Amino acid sequence: MSLAELTLENLRCIDKAELAFGPGTNLVFGANGAGKTTVLEAVFLLGRGRSFRTRLNERLIQHGKPLARVVGLLSTEPTSRRLGIEIQRAPEGKTGTVGRLDGSDLRSFADLALAFPVQAMDPEAHKLIEESSARRRRWLDWAVFHVEHGFASSWARYQKALQQRNAALRAGRAEFTAWDPELAREGEALTGARERVAMALSPYWSEIAAELTGLEISLDFHQGWDRDDPLIDVLAASAGRDRDRRSTTRGPHRADLNLRVNGRVAREVLSRGQQKLAAVALNLCQLEYLKREHGLSPTVLLDDPSAELDRERLARFITRVEALETQLIVTALDRDSSLFGQPETVFHVEQGRVFRV
């Protein structure tokens, strides 16, 4: 499966563009600020319902326009599928995002993710290491979602119960504990799924991280509470603290991937460049795991992949990416960029306009 066609309207600096991609390597080149990354954002939107650069979709709408729209055609066997995302700016200042699959509105972007798996690596990749646990949970959950049946529904039920419990805590209502059984049941289920995938990723991580960074970086899954205690007991024991803080302080919403170098937290000892290499290694280990063990080949978006990588590590990275044998959409400053061999299609982006070369 690959993205065959892409149409975008009123997205950041691009008024309108239509692109036809090949199933292999596709190059999008142009000067900084021309709109290359906006093309990648549009592709990412189709599979995630959001950008990889911001959590606020309203920032994607071109200034002065009421909406932004992205439509894509997937090449699948035996038929094709059409995906769509529309971001609307309401008069009262609110923004709504609507997803469509084969012409029907979707209740959840999970349906888009199933139809079109897509992963992005960009110059801000270091944030996966540097920033909060929420970013690393999203990274892990994307892989879990694709391989663990029932994870998405458990996650959704857990989030709903967590919202209700926290709302009761903020309101000072004593009955907040009424949500504990459902929170514990769904929390244990989604945590089991996360842990299985984290364990499966471990050997891929050890090999790729050592190859790219030259360091031994441990990767451990922390479930969000003491591993030895059932979540229902943890919620009961934490009730007093939760009441004081007006928030649920323990559970899967506090889960994290702990990366350490010689026992120290990775983000505290790694340089910015090393953090980026570690983040790239995380993404590669995820993609290789999905490919080798589940036969899943997501479309991979590479935004200026040569940035901050020296020649030796860039060569190793390229070798790993090429072995994925998946659709690549790559941005670069120059048309002559041939990091992944001769591209099937080439597009030039200039001042918000996209031309096929």
Judge whether 184 lies within some domain: yes
Judge whether 68 lies within some domain: no
Q: What is the CATH number of the domain that holds 170?
A: 1.20.1050.90
Q: How many helices (H) and strands (E) does the chain have?
A: 11, 15
Residue the block writes with tokens 């200026």:
304
CA distance 294 to 285: 13
Judge whether 325 lies within some domain: no
Q: What is the DSSP string of 54-121?
A: -S-GGGGBPTT-SEEEEEEEEE-SSS-EEEEEEEEE-TTS-EEEEEEETTEE-S-THHHHHH--EEEE
Judge whether 275 lies within some domain: yes
Judge whether 289 lies within some domain: yes
Antiparallel, parallel or unpaired: β 118-121 and 299-303: parallel
**Contact, 343 vs 25, CB < 8 A?**
yes
Tell me what pLDDT residue 309 has: 77
Judge whether 66 lies within some domain: no
CA distance 274 to 269: 9
Number of independent structural domains in the chain = 1
Hey, what are 319's tokens?
A: 């070798």
Range of the domain at 240: 124-296
Q: Which residues of 218-257 are buried (b: 16+ CB within 10 A; e: fewer)?
A: ebebebbbeeeeebeebbeebbeebeeeeebbbbbbebbb
pTM score, whole prediction? 0.93
Judge whether 129 lies within some domain: yes
CA distance 217 to 238: 32
Q: Bridge-partner residues for 312, per DSSP?
A: none
Q: Bridge-partner residues for 98, per DSSP?
A: 86
**Contact, 129 vs 259, CB < 8 A?**
yes
Hey, what are 156's tokens?
A: 């959704």
Tell me what pLDDT residue 123 has: 85
CA distance 84 to 103: 8
Tell me what pLDDT residue 134 has: 94
Helix (H, G, I), strand (E, B) or coil at 251: coil
Judge whether 264 lies within some domain: yes
User: pLDDT of the chain along its 357 residues, tens only?
Assistant: 899 999 999 999 999 999 999 999 999 999 999 999 999 999 999 999 999 998 889 899 998 899 999 999 998 777 889 999 999 987 665 668 999 999 999 988 889 999 999 999 988 889 999 998 999 999 999 999 999 999 999 999 999 999 999 999 999 999 999 999 999 999 999 999 999 999 999 999 999 999 999 999 999 999 999 988 999 999 999 999 999 999 999 999 999 999 999 999 999 999 988 999 999 999 999 999 999 999 999 999 999 888 767 888 888 899 999 999 999 999 999 888 778 888 999 999 998 999 999
Q: Look up residue 178 and give its amino acid.
A: A
